[in-house]
C-alpha cells in the first residue's frame, strides 16, 4: 500500500509541478477578483458575502470542470504522445494499478481546484463585502428559506459530482483515443450542452430521454429538494452510477489490452 502511494506521488508530481498549474490558478483567482470587484463597485458592498459567493459559483464553476477535464485528459494521452508510457509500463506494476494511480491523481487535481476556487471566492468576498462593505442584503436566503452556508455546501457537492463524471469521461476518451485534444473538446462540448440545452431536453416527452447521460450531469437542480421535473436525485445518481461503471470497465479493459508502440 505504501508502494502504491508512491505511484500516486509520481502522478501528482507530473500533474502539479507544471507551469500550467499557475496559469489555471491565476485565471480562477483573477476571474473571481474581477467579478467581485465589479459587483462591489456597483452595489457599494451592500450584498451579503454568501450571496455573492453562490452567484459567482453558478457563473464560474464550469471553468473548474474544464480545467479538471484538461488535466485528466492529458495524464494518459501525454504519456503516449511523448513516448514516456513505455518507460512507465516496464516497471513491476500492473497496468491496472498504473492507470488507477493516474485516475486518482486526476480526481485529486479536480478536488484541489474546486477547493482553491471556493477558498478564493470566500476570501475575496469576505474581504470586499464583509470587511470593506457592510454586506447585509441577503436576497438568496429570503428566497430559499435555508441558511446560505448549508445551501452553498450542498450546491458545491452536487457540482463536484458532475465534475467527477466529466473527469471520468475525459479520462476514458483520452485512454481510448490517446488524444487529449479530443477528450478536452468533448468535455467542453458536454459543459456547453449540459449548461444550455439540457433544460429544454428535459421537457421532451420520450421515455428514453430519462436515461440519457447528459440529462443527469447537472445535479444542481436538486439543490432545493430531492425531486425536480418528475425525477429524483436517487434516480439521477443511479443512472450516473451505471454509466460510471461502464466507462470505468471500458477504460481499464482497453488500457490493459493495448499494444504499446508509442
Partner 1 sequence: MGQPIVRLQDVTKKIGSRTIIDKLTLDVPSGEVFGFLGPNGAGKTTTIRMMVGLMSITSGDILIDGHSISNQFEKAIRHVGAIVENPEMYKYMTGYQNLIHFARMIPGITSHRVREVVSLVGLDARIHDKVRTYSLGMRQRLGVAQAILHNPKLLILDEPTNGLDPAGIRELRDYLRKMAQQEGVAVFVSSHLLSEMELMCDRVAIIQNGRLIDVRTVQSTDKAVIARTLFEVDRPEAALEALAASELTGTIEGAGNIAVEGDKLFAAQVNELLVRSGIKVFGIRAEIKSLEDQFLEMTGGEGIG
Binding site for partner 1 (CB under 8 A): 3, 6-7, 9-10, 13-14, 17-19, 82-84, 86-87, 89-94, 257, 259-261
Write down the least CB distance from residue 91 to partner 1, Å.
4
Residue at grid coordinates 485512454: 175
Pick 168 or 175: Cβ nearer partner 1? 175
Write down the least CB distance from residue 260 to partner 1, Å.
4
Write down the least CB distance from residue 82 to partner 1, Å.
6
162 close to 64: Cβ distance less than 8 angstroms: no
Secondary structure of 6-37 as H, E, C letters: HHHHHHHHHHHCCHHHHHHHHHHHHHHHHHHH
Write down the least CB distance from residue 175 to partner 1, Å.
16
Pick 20 or 139: Cβ nearer partner 1? 20
Give how far Cα 187 sits from Cα of 5, 101, 178, 259, Å. Answer: 28, 21, 15, 26
Pick 13 or 238: Cβ nearer partner 1? 13
Q: Which residues pair with 47 in a beta bridge?
A: 137
138 close to 50: Cβ distance less than 8 angstroms: yes
Contacts of residue 6, defined as CB under 8 A and 6 or more positions apart, other chains included, come to none
Contacts of residue 208, defined as CB under 8 A and 6 or more positions apart, other chains included, come to none
| Residue 76 to residue 178: CA distance in whole angstroms | 7
Write down the least CB distance from residue 85 to partner 1, Å.
8
Pick 3 or 142: Cβ nearer partner 1? 3
Pick 205 or 257: Cβ nearer partner 1? 257
Amino acid at each position: 500500500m505504501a508502494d502504491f502511494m508512491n505511484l500516486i506521488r509520481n502522478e501528482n508530481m507530473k500533474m502539479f509541478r507544471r507551469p500550467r498549474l499557475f496559469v489555471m490558478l491565476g485565471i480562477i483567482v483573477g476571474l473571481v477578483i474581477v467579478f467581485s470587484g465589479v459587483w462591489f463597485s456597483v452595489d457599494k458592498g451592500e450584498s451579503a458575502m454568501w450571496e455573492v459567493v453562490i452567484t459567482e459559483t453558478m457563473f464560474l464553476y464550469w471553468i473548474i470542470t474544464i480545467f479538471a477535464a484538461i488535466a485528466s485528459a492529458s495524464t494518459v494521452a501525454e504519456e503516449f504522445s511523448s513516448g514516456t508510457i513505455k518507460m512507465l509500463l516496464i516497471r513491476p506494476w500492473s497496468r491496472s494499478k498504473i492507470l488507477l494511480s493516474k485516475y486518482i491523481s486526476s480526481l485529486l487535481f479536480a478536488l484541489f481546484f474546486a477547493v482553491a476556487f471556493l477558498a478564493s471566492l470566500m476570501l475575496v468576498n469576505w474581504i470586499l463585502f464583509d470587511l470593506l462593505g457592510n454586506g447585509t442584503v441577503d436576497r438568496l436566503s429570503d428566497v430559499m428559506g435555508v441558511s446560505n452556508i448549508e445551501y452553498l455546501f450542498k450546491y458545491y457537492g452536487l457540482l463536484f459530482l458532475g465534475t467527477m463524471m466529466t473527469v471520468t469521461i475525459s479520462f476514458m476518451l483520452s485512454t481510448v483515443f490517446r488524444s487529449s485534444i479530443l477528450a478536452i473538446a468533448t468535455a467542453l462540448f458536454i459543459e456547453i450542452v449540459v449548461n444550455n440545452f439540457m433544460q429544454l431536453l428535459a421537457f421532451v416527452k420520450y421515455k428514453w430521454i430519462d436515461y440519457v447521460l447528459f440529462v443527469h450531469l447537472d445535479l444542481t437542480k436538486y439543490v432545493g429538494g430531492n425531486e425536480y421535473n418528475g425525477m429524483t436525485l436517487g434516480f439521477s445518481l443511479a443512472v450516473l452510477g451505471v454509466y460510471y461503471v461502464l466507462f470505468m470497465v471500458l477504460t481499464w479493459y482497453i488500457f490493459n489490452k493495448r499494444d504499446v508502440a508509442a
